[in-house]
Amino acid sequence: QKEVEQNSGPLSVPEGAIASLNCTYSDRGSQSFFWYRQYSGKSPELIMSIYSNGDKEDGRFTAQLNKASQYVSLLIRDSQPSDSATYLCAVKDSSASKIIFGSGTRLSIRP
């Protein structure tokens, strides 16, 4: 069974600080990795995708990938209260067309 593991949280971060979200996965052949944000009662929204080892930056968000360690992370700089949500790590199955989701990390930004 291929798995994606995340700390469920809640992770509490003061406003303006850096929030760090981590994820590990079991499918060593995976090549595509994603971070989704989900507000309560809403469907997930894609915020970052990453395919190569290293860092990928988009605004306040930076995704980091280390395939050797099977580790993906998401950094959110200058955290805002509006960043409070559940963040889902997702990994594309290397042998099927589906994407495997982690259980999500609840992030709370305190003013």
Partner 1 sequence: GAVVSQHPSRVICKSGTSVKIECRSLDFQATTMFWYRQFPKQSLMLMATSNEGSKATYEQGVEKDKFLINHASLTLSTLTVTSAHPEDSSFYICSAHQAGTNTEAFFGQGTRLTVV
Residues that bind partner 1 (CB under 8 A): 31-32, 34, 36, 41-46, 49, 51, 88, 90, 92, 96-104
The residue (of 85 and 102) whose beta carbon lies closer to partner 1 is 102
The DSSP annotation for the chain comes to ---EEE----EEEETTS-EEEEEEES-TT---EEEEEE-TTS--EEEEEE-SSEEEEETTEEEEEETTTTEEEEEESS--GGG-EEEEEEEE-TTSS-EEEP--EEEEEE-
